[in-house]
Structure 1
Amino acid sequence: MQRLMMLSAVTRMPRHEATTLVFDTLNRLGGWVDDVHMYSNIMNTIRFTLPGEALPALVAALADSHIAIDQDGLPTACPPDKDLSGSLQITFIHNEPDLRRAIPAVPG
Structure 2
Amino acid sequence: MAIVMLSAVTRIERKAATSFVFDTVNRLGGWIDDVHMYSNLMNTIRFTLPAGAFADLVAALEAEAILVEPLAGLGDMRDPAAERMGTLQLTFIHDEPDLKREVPSVPG
User: Where on the TM-score scale, by shorter chain, does this alignment land: which range?
Assistant: over 0.9
CA RMSD for the aligned pairs? 1.3
Identify the residue that residue 2 of structure 2 maps to in structure 1: 3
Alpha-carbon separation, structure 1, partners of 2:73 and 2:46? 15
Shift of 1:74: 4.8
Runs of 4+ in structure 1 deviating by more than 2 angstroms, as ranges, are 72-79
8 A Cα contact 2:48 2:84, kept in partner: yes
- Which 5+ residue runs of structure 2 have no aligned equivalent? none
Normalising by structure 2, what TM-score? 0.93
Identify the residue that residue 51 of structure 1 maps to in structure 2: 50
Q: Secondary structure at the match of 2:54?
A: helix
Q: Per the alignment, do residues 72 and 55 of structure 1 end up closer, same or farther by CA in structure 2, a change over 3 Å counting?
A: closer
Look up the equivalent residue of 2:90 and give its one-letter code. I
Moved more, 69-78 or 89-98: 69-78
Alpha-carbon separation, structure 2, partners of 1:30 and 1:98? 34
8 A Cα contact 2:45 2:88, kept in partner: yes
Look up the equivalent residue of 2:41 and give its one-letter code. I
The aligned runs of 1:24-43 (5 Å cut-off) are 24-43=23-42
Look up the equivalent residue of 2:48 and give its one-letter code. T
Shift of 1:75: 2.4
The aligned runs of 1:1-108 (5 Å cut-off) are 2-71=1-70, 73-75=72-74, 77-78=76-77, 79-108=79-108
What is the count of residue pairs matched by the alignment?
A: 107
Moved more, 66-75 or 47-56: 66-75
Q: Percent identity?
A: 57
Normalising by structure 1, what TM-score? 0.93
- Which 5+ residue runs of structure 1 have no aligned equivalent? none
